[in-house]
Amino acid sequence: MTTQDDVAGKNVDKLNENLAKVEDLSQRLIQALASRKPANPTLNAPSQDIFVKAAHSYWSEMLENPGRIYEKQLEYWGKSVRHFLDAQQALMRGTAPESEEPDPLGGDKRFANPLWNSHPYFRYIKQQYALNSQAIERALDEIDEDLPPKDRKRLDYFVRQIIDMMSPTNFLGTNPDALERAVETEGESLVKGLENLIADLEANNGELVVRLADDRAFVLGENIASTPGEVVYRNHMMELIQYAPTTDEVHATPIVIFPPWINKFYILDLKPENSLIKWITDQGYTLFVVSWINADTSHADIGMEDYIEDGFLTAIREVKAITGQKQVNAVGYCIAGTTLHLTLALMAKRGDKSVKSATFFTALTDFSEQGEFTPFLQDDFIDGIEAEVAAQGVLRSFIMGRTMSFLRSRDLIYQPAVRHYMMGEAPPAFDLLYWNGDGSNLPGRMTVQYLRGLCQRNEFVTSGFEICGERLHISDVTVPIMAVTCETDHIAAWKDCYRGFQQTGAKDRTFIVSESGHIAGIVNPPTKKKYGHFTNDDLSGDADAWIAGATRHEGSWWPRWEAWLAKRSGKMVPARAPGDSDHKPLAPAPGTYVRRKATI
């Protein structure tokens, strides 16, 4: 007969066994960290100048109004002591009493475990974290208004990063979910968590990049990026994919899509039911998509001019040759939309009329307002990037990836890290997050050109951006254009996209705001019936006036775009098989370049 003591003994033995595994794994951890090639340290934090300015501003406020500062400090001290005394009494009673004060973190899913309210220890930690956060936020609010707006915005960003980083949920000893899981699994969750941590470090040369999706669940060309097609052209910059027709006839004028080279193109072809690529072919179009090379050190001197000449203009030339058409309809997404504007301006200078219409997905051209990227577009950070690319030849993928992730650090860094490393959970099989983790390096020269000339100096909409032997301006763009932006986009805010769109020289202009964000607002198939969109033909006012007069439409913007495109795509002709006698298929879609990983 098994006694309770026997069960307890076995549990302790299992726990000790798992803890011993942790000791063994520590050697792998040390080896993984030894291979780390860290980024330039300037990219890890802002210049100390901003904190000196903030401290000076706070000190000035204290000298001018010391009573208010002392009042806030005494309030903080009083609450801290009261929380400590309450916790002491609650520990003696064994339970936490009901509080008459409103829960400052109510609704925060990080603190959903009932122990945060019922257990004296965890309740005290939660209350003190909330109090500390409030004190820091108040101190930030009280900084003198003489601090420049950009510095205030940067300070606000980094202060909130510190607040999120110091959440007690991020540490094993103060996370009841992780501690409960460790006890329930007899320590196995800690072993699995450490294995997950080491695997992520080993996969990224010792750099900690939290894996967001199970990369074993997806195979390119099989259950993701699986729309049939062929690579029909390849050079040192890109592969050109022509997709197989799904209709007997197609519009005469082909479409060529230029995706961003910060990420891989298959965000537009994740799976059949939400693939824009498949949907376009199903509507009766000959579709080409560019798949950019994943840069390595040999691409250090590749600049924006190479993307324009050997990417955009070459792709347009080859599409015309394959289809026998004089014009194409072009699409540019994100940074490729920005570059498509530059390309159109250059083509106007050269008298090249190869583009019949252009569509831009979440594309910025006017960077006078830098939005959430303000902290990363100041000289100290850009100086660090210049030093990084000078040393490495490229801006390594993990640097761009972590920058994007820190804009949503709770959702994209801390909570996945807690689940992955402290709870021992495997990441989900989620195609969007898999794509998000499949990043690309950026060529050094191109990175600096983009950040200095376009983002910082905003030359394309002011004095003109010099490239390819021409000075290009947004007003040079005159072809029929449509812009699709996203209402909650934190990367390319729709109001900023609108401001640049207004400055084009085009007379035929259509502007759309899709609901949701940078990805979900674009990858929004009609069958989902999920997000609506806004339209307004009056582009004369500012963004606030535009949205105030806009009409909301149910469902995806895709059919509205297709109706606009159909009018600019010519008559119907027999469907075209990929390639021709001069462009024999080189590889089936999604091609070979897309499979190259950012391993530097």
Q: Report the catalytic residues.
A: 334
Report yes or no: 103 and 117 within 8 Å, Cβ to Cβ.
yes
Closest CA to 437 of 202, 203, 274, 211: 211
Work out the angle at residue 390's Cα, subtended by the Cα atoms of residues 386 and 394, and round it to the nearest 5 degrees. 90
Report yes or no: 507 and 478 within 8 Å, Cβ to Cβ.
yes
Q: Which two tokens stand for residue 135?
A: 């004190």
CA dihedral defined by 307, 310, 316, 322, rounded to 10 degrees?
-140
Residue 296 Rama label (left phi>0; alpha psi -120 to 50; beta): beta
Q: Which two tokens stand for residue 338?
A: 């920005």
Report yes or no: 534 and 550 within 8 Å, Cβ to Cβ.
yes
Q: How far apart are CA 14 and CA 6, in angstroms?
A: 12
Q: How far apart are CA 600 and CA 295, in angstroms?
A: 10
Q: Beta partners for 588?
A: 230
Residue type, 44: N
Closest CA to 123 of 174, 170, 182: 174
63: Cβ–Cβ under 8 A, 6 or more apart, which residues? none
Report yes or no: 260 and 214 within 8 Å, Cβ to Cβ.
no
Long-range (24+ apart) CB contacts under 8 A made by 29-32 are 29/194, 29/197, 29/198, 29/201, 32/198, 32/201, 32/202, 32/206
Report yes or no: 289 and 225 within 8 Å, Cβ to Cβ.
no
Q: How far apart are CA 138 and CA 152, in angstroms?
A: 13
Work out the angle at residue 515's Cα, subtended by the Cα atoms of residues 406 and 255, and round it to the nearest 5 degrees. 95
Return the beta strands (E) in 392-527 as ranges: 394-395, 442-443, 465-467, 470-472, 481-486, 509-514
Helix, strand, coil % over all residues of the chain, rounded to 5: 50, 10, 35
